[in-house]
Every structure is written in structure tokens, then in C-alpha cells.
Chain A
Amino acid sequence: MIAARGIRKTGLASAALLLMLLVAAWGAQSPSAPGAEKSKLRLLYVGHPGSDREKEFVQFLGQHFETVKTADLAAFDRKVFADKDMEGSDVAILDYDGDGFKAPRPMLAPRFLDNGSGGRPFPEGSWLTRPVITVGVAGGLMASQAGLKTGYL
């Protein structure tokens, strides 16, 4: 009887330990796990300053990346967004809130290697060769204007 009680206590302790380990493992997989190590990638979120959307993206990204800077997409409206505009960052995210058709429209100048720039008169230093994510309708329109396959259908 005493031995059975001892075995039962050991079994419960083991189960509790296993449960704790499982919870810890699940937590480590969750992107929102407190204390999870942040990536050292440096992000530049280019959106609508002061908007709820910007706040939400920056807060979310800040949970996973040590460095998240912001910039104003409107500053590039009908102007080139080039490599030099994301200096000090590893990835730029181009995004906007509201109606994407009314969003600022930066010009992206990818350096197409096989069939050229299409004769577009981009000034020196305009190329965009660094990693960029374009988001939503606004992103699709930028990509379309740039001649990318990812452009809005």
C-alpha cells in the first residue's frame, strides 16, 4: 500500500514535470512568447505615421525584431524608393492604411537583368536591389507600376 502510494506520487510528479515541459515547448513555438529571443534583422516600416495601422505593425514587429524604424510612405509619393532610402535596415516593408488606390505611390526601380528597364529614365542611384515587402492593395499597385510579376492583376 505504502509502495503503491509512493509510486502514485512519483507518477504524479513525473506527469506534472512533463506537463511543464510541454507548456514551455509550446510557448517557445509561439511568436508572442515572452522572453523569446528577438531577431537582429533591422526593419524599416514605411507606412502612414501616427496611424493605428502603423502602431499595430510596429508593435507586432517589435516583439520579434530588435530594431524597427519607421518612415513615411507619403514622402515617396511619385518618387523613387531606392536602396539608399533603406540604409541602416535589412528589410523594408511598404504599407499603407485605408483605400490602397488612394495610398501614396512610391516608384520602385528593380534592376531587371534580362529584359532591361523598359527605357524608363530613372536617375543614377535609383535602383532597388535590397529586400522589400510590399503589402496589400498599395503594395500590389507599386509592384504593378514597377513591372513586377507580383503586381496587382
Chain B
Amino acid sequence: MDNAAHAESLDHEVYHTPLAVQPEFEYRNTPENYRLGYVNVGRLPDRMKVWRVQDSPKGNVIAPGAGFNDSPDAEIIATGLNRAKCYGDVGIGRQGNVLQWGYGDPPAQMTEAGRRLFLNCIHYICRYEGKPPLVRRGNEGRLYALRWNSAKKSSTQRNLVFRGSYAQDVMQKYRGRSDELNGYYVQNLEVLYWDQGYRVDEDLKSLGIDSNRKVETLERLFELQKDPAHREVAQRLLERYTDGRTAFDFQNGRDRIYFSDVGGYKFFVVPQGYLLGSPTTKVTPP
């Protein structure tokens, strides 16, 4: 990770309390690695607005941004400018009671804004006394399946390096046609899951369900489990997307049900009272 953070969202309270963090913005060339895997609407600009956190552009680490916010115990505080990973990867982030400051310089080599943010993070993490994390990281978020997506239509891509990320049968089917493989995953992003690599859930699609991570999907699967015509498929999907032990209350606890890619591509339930006192403004990855 470089020595700066992106400037998309500075509304999080950690930029204001107890000290006012006043970054000095600048523009830097958009790293070329950002264009791989970028699937949002429109193209990335040629230069991006950032603010320098410290002096050293080296010796800093970043955490995966894909799926970082998919459980309510985690939040991104700053996305880090980087030249090897993805746009949206996390320079400063929190999960549960642990906050990771990915920048490596000591205070004298931080900018004033960096120092203030560091101090504010100390105050902020105190709020999470006794609030351990909810999900252990066991998988990568589904957006990582797209990290070789080229910004240029029909361009030829290099061989897929991260072979472990793709199911072997899928790799075989699309051998030599990585553009089409990316297209396949982009079109089916909402029904991607992990089983020895990223897969498109054809079982779910056969039921006419367009997403594996909406609460309505889970509710529908429980309904279909009672239907003899769809029981077998519904049961298989419930085994895929739940741990078999968690009880889901769609009447009184619907807002506490969430789906986490990183936690295993499953539905979970936030414990009662866990979210009390959490900030209402989060940094949203691009």
C-alpha cells in the first residue's frame, strides 16, 4: 500500500471526534491494477483524489476490501491507495474489538491529519470493549472473482494466475477465454458462491431466484422446503447457505439477518444488542 488514502468518504465520525482531521488532498495517477476487476458503472478516472497519511510509500499493508462490510461487525475507515491489489482494499479497518492501522510509519513521519486520525482511532476503538467479531474470515468476497476483468472490451488477458480461485471444471470450460469467464461471473455476480472455487449457483437460478444474499431468498427457500416439487433443491440450498443450527426469525428479527461471503457464503443472525452504539455512517467501498 502506498502512503495515502482515498478521499471518497470522510463522513465517518472518526474523522471528526475528538479531533478534526483535515486532510490535504492531492491527485495522483490511477494505478493500472485498479482497472482489473473494476466493474462499477463508467470508467475509472485517470487521476484520483487522495490524501497523504504518512511519508513512506512502502512497508504498509492492506486488507481485502471485497466483502469487508458484509457483516455488521466490520467497517472500513480508509481505503488505501495501492499499486498491486484492488481499488477499495482496506488501509484502516475495524472488525469487532480490533482495529488495524495498515500504515507503517511512526508518528513523526505521519502527516498532521494522519496523527489526528490515529489518535481518534484510539478513542474510537474503546467503544468496542466487549464487542468481539461475528464472523471469521474463511473466504474471499465474490468481487474477487472479477479481479482480472479488463477495462477494455475484448482485450486479451494474460493467463489466470490465481487458479485456486476458480473451480477447475469452470476453468476447463473457459480455458483460453478469460474474457468470457469474467463476463460469466459479472452476469451472475448475485448468485456466486464458493465451492472449491467460485461457482454460479445454477440450483438457485433453477428456482427463479436471482440472488443468494437477500433475506427474501432465505425466506423463500424455507417456504420451498415445504413444497414437494422443490423440496430437494431447497434443502440442498439451505444446507449450502446456512450452518444448520441458526434459527431465523423473519417476523421479529428480520433486520438482524445478514449474509456474509467472507464468513462462508452463509446467512447469520446478529446477536441481540450487538449493534447498540454503532456509528450510522460507514465508509462504503467503491
Contacts and interface: CB of A to CB of B under 8 A. Distances in A.
Interface of A: 29-31, 39, 41, 43, 53, 56-57, 60, 64-65, 90-91, 93, 100, 108, 110-118, 127-137, 139-140, 143, 146-153
A139 to B, nearest CB: 6
A132 B94 contact: no
5 contacts: A110-B97, A113-B132, A139-B101, A140-B61, A140-B102
A65 B102 CA distance: 22
Interface stretch (B35-43, B85-93, B189-197): B85-93
Contacts of B129: 90, 129-131
Given A115-B268, A131-B129, A143-B100, A150 B115 contact: no
A127 B106 contact: no
Given A131-B125, A149-B93, A153-B64, A136 B98 contact: no
Contact of B104 (A93, A129, A136): A136
B173 to A, nearest CB: 28
Interface of B: 18-20, 59-64, 67-68, 71, 74, 85, 89-90, 93-104, 106-108, 112, 115-116, 119, 121-123, 125-138, 243, 246, 262-264, 266, 268-271, 274
Contacts of A65: 122
B243 A100 contact: no
B97 A132 contact: yes
Contacts of A116: 136
Given A131-B125, A140-B61, A53 B106 contact: yes
Nearest to A108: B98
Contact of B133 (A118, A133, A135, A148): A148
Most buried by B among A64, A100, A135: A135
B126 A41 contact: yes
A150 B119 contact: no
B100 A134 contact: yes
B119 A31 contact: yes
B93 A150 contact: yes
Nearest to A131: B125
B20 A150 contact: no
Most buried by B among A112, A113, A130, A146: A113
Contacts of B74: 149-150
Contacts of A114: 71, 134-135, 246, 263, 268-270
Cβ-closest 7 pairs across A and B? A150-B100, A136-B104, A140-B61, A60-B107, A147-B136, A111-B132, A131-B125
Contacts of B138: 115, 118, 147
Nearest to B270: A114
Nearest to A65: B122
Contacts of A91: 122, 125-126
A130 B97 contact: yes
Contact of B95 (A128, A131, A149): A149
Contacts of A115: 134-136, 138, 243, 263-264, 266, 268
B97 A133 contact: no
A152 B61 CA distance: 6
A60 B90 CA distance: 25
A57 B110 CA distance: 11
A41 B108 contact: no
A132 B123 contact: no
Contacts of B128: 131
Nearest to B92: A150
B253 to A, nearest CB: 14
Nearest to B22: A29
Contacts of B133: 110-113, 148-149
